[in-house]
Homo-oligomer: A and B are copies of this chain.
Amino acid sequence: MAKDKKMVTAITSMDEDFAQWYTDICKKAELVEYTSVKGCMVIRPYGYAIWENIQRILDGMFKATGHENVCMPMFIPESLLEKEKDHVEGFAPEVAWVTHGGNDKLEERLCVRPTSETLFCEHYANIVHSYRDLPKLYNQWVSVVRWEKTTRPFLRSREFLWQEGHTIHATAEEAIEETERMLQVYKTFCEESLAMPVITGRKTESDKFAGAVATYAIEALMHDGKALQAGTSHYFGDGFAKAFDIEYTDKDNKRVFPHQTSWGVTTRLIGAVIMTHGDNNGLVLPPAVAPIQTVIVPVAQHKEGVLEKASELRDRLAAAGLRVKLDDSENSPGWKFAEYEMKGVPVRVEIGPRDIEDNQCVIVTRHDSEKTVVSLDKLEEAVQEALKRVHDGMYAKALENQQKRTYECTSIDEIKDTLAKNGDGFIMAMWCGDEACEDSVKEQTGVGSRCIPTLQKNLSDKCVCCGKPAKHMVCWGNAY
């Protein structure tokens, strides 16, 4: 047997140290590498290929709902950032400032965009004049910069990749409809492409986006019970329009202000996938976004006919539209099994001399390690079916974890007991709507409000904190 080119070293157990397990996976599955630029990372080919798949699918969903891509400058002049009061207050403390071009000091500082509402508003003021110009449904795929103090790969970094949708509408109703539509697009994408259940809801006032009337979010529950905000959709009303003098002439020839939205998801989704599905053998990737959906590992590949047959299977699966890789390197089959488990490849096909004799191969699914022997005559259907089985199995497992870790509580003590007994999770509890109670729950129990779930349930008539009449059921949690 040829000597393995490198060892597949073990990773920290997730039950021992979840944070270290996460970092190990990011490095060992070759998703990212650190750089000398503090808080910024290299997204390596395997990590970037996941993002390319996310982009391709989401971009198709955006276009199917009538959106068009554009590209705005990466810089925002300080005076432009300052036009909307709440917005600048929210973002100014965490932006990177460009002060010099070459050897010359700039007349006005430029910030590297932390988000692009201000640039879109300036553009809309230029191109929106009449109701005939509405709506504009724009999106861009870019990177943004926020000067975070502590960073972690994918979850929080100074520069991250995202898409930001920015739309402008004639009426508030249309804009609200858009905000809700895109939240639903995100939910569908997470469920159908990432096999990740999410709950949708509205953020409380204290947790809104800087400048928004209302912020909606999708929240996912990680394997360790912590919540992760996986996407947001904001309704702005006409606040930005007023700040940026965007007006249009309506059908009655009156000048009125349009209504706006913005919505975004980021490379954080990759972190969500890792922490939702990963296990102690490494990544487990949803088939829809896996760079390699099926890896073919030849057994006893030095024997006559094995590599030829393996190539033939590779070509057949590629022709069936699958992302397939044949690993014909000199590493041992055992090494290859471990390597592609670490990389989360959903389906492995093993083929050796005996299999060839019997006109069969072995299919192994990553998420549950199940082995199936299938006839080579039915290879394509069997692999397609296995990929579907992986997706469904991953979703069911993640949903089970989410449901198991969702607790309904009617008192502060019950919240404390639940957390002490079970660890983190989604805590559902009633709230009066008062910010003081929101802060108090956080202070007493450690969990903050994640959102006011779209699916409401009346757990009690009283606020879990003050006992006054409750307005909403809130989802509380410990967040990434």
Residues of A within 8 A of B (CB): 5, 33, 35-37, 40-45, 48-49, 51-52, 68-77, 80, 92-103, 110, 112, 119, 122-123, 126-127, 132, 138, 142-143, 145, 147, 158-159, 161
Contacts and interface: CB of A to CB of B under 8 A. Distances in A.
A211 B357 CA distance: 57
6 contacts: A35-B119, A43-B70, A45-B70, A48-B68, A74-B112, A95-B101
B110 A74 contact: no
Contacts of A95: 101-102
Nearest to A67: B45
A42 B72 contact: yes
Nearest to A37: B73
What 3 A-B pairs are tightest by C-beta distance, nearest first?
A: A40-B73, A45-B68, A101-B147
A159 B110 CA distance: 13
Contacts of A161: 71
Given A99-B99, A127-B33, A5 B70 contact: no
Contacts of A96: 75, 98, 100-101, 110
Nearest to A46: B68
A96 B103 CA distance: 9
Given A36-B80, A102-B94, A138 B74 contact: no
A187 B389 CA distance: 45
Contact of A98 (B35, B93, B97): B97
Contacts of A100: 96-97, 99
Nearest to A106: B96
A67 to B, nearest CB: 9
Given A75-B96, A94-B101, 6 more contacts: A35-B119, A42-B70, A45-B68, A49-B68, A95-B101, A98-B99
Contact of A37 (B77, B93, B127): B77
B112 A98 contact: yes
A75 B42 CA distance: 11
B70 A48 contact: yes
